């Protein structure tokens, strides 16, 4: 189970107080860490009958009310956990960065795939987005030297998030309804050590 929480407070014309005063007024009396700890405790209690254990959850809370100084708290936040479709958010962010940097073209097909990846959680659309971002494609197994070059390209999204300070994540695999074959399967490593997490 993976949970990513984001707190953001919209500002708009209806806001009459200065932003700093308004934000200070809205800050919780409890710390972010206390909120996360309570959420973890409550979740574990609520699903105790299902035998949910602490090692099965991870929570990260990022407070964006002050975008220049975001607050952060977590419960097992550095643990590697299979993110399922949450990984699609990372591909969405990377795609927008690539578009801003003119690394990829803004095409109707790209827009369709981005929409389907997020709105419908389409694995096929996600596969296309990963290909576009990394300039790689699936297919038959490659000789070792070619596979190394392919894997380097496939790690483009990992390198981007590493440049932002992300650690202990792996976002270089496509999502599938069933299983991966060929170079996609080889890329995961013999024991699945390179799976998305």
Q: Is the pLDDT of residue 26 over 70?
A: no
Q: Is the pLDDT of residue 62 over 60?
A: yes
In the chain, where do the E strands start and end? 3-7, 59-63, 71-75
Residue 105's contacts (CB-CB under 8 Å, 6 or more residues apart) are none
Tally of residues, the chain: 197
Q: Is the pLDDT of residue 63 over 90?
A: no
Hey, what are 178's tokens?
Answer: 């069933």
Residue 173 sits at the vertex; the CA angle it makes with 170 and 175, to the nearest 5 degrees, is 120
pLDDT single digits (tens) 164-176: 888 888 999 999 9
pLDDT single digits (tens) 87-133: 999 999 999 999 999 999 999 999 999 999 999 999 999 999 999 99
The pLDDT, as a whole number, for residue 109 is 98
Give 61's strand partners.
5, 73
The pLDDT, as a whole number, for residue 29 is 62
Query: What DSSP state is assigned to residue 78?
Result: T
Find out whether 31 and 60 touch, Cβ atoms under 8 Å: no
């Amino acid at each position: 189970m993976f949970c990513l929480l984001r707190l953001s407070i919209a500002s708009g014309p209806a806001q009459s107080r200065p932003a700093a005063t308004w934000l200070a007024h809205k800050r919780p009396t409890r710390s972010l860490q206390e909120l996360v700890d309570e959420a973890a405790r409550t979740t574990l209690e609520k699903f105790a009958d299902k035998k949910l254990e602490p090692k099965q959850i991870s929570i990260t809370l990022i407070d964006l009310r002050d975008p220049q100084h975001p607050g952060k708290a977590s419960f097992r936040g550095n643990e590697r956990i299979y993110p399922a479709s949450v990984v699609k958010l990372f591909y969405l962010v990377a795609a927008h960065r690539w578009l801003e940097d003119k690394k990829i073209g803004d095409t109707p097909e790209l827009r369709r795939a981005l929409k389907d990846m997020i709105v419908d959680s389409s694995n096929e659309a996600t596969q296309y987005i990963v290909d576009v971002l990394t300039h790689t494609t699936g297919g038959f197994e490659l000789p070792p030297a070619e596979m190394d070059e392919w894997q380097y390209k496939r790690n483009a999204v990992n390198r981007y998030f590493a440049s932002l300070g992300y650690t202990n994540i792996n976002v270089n695999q496509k999502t599938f309804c069933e299983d991966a074959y060929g170079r996609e399967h080889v890329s995961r490593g013999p024991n699945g050590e390179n799976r998305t997490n």
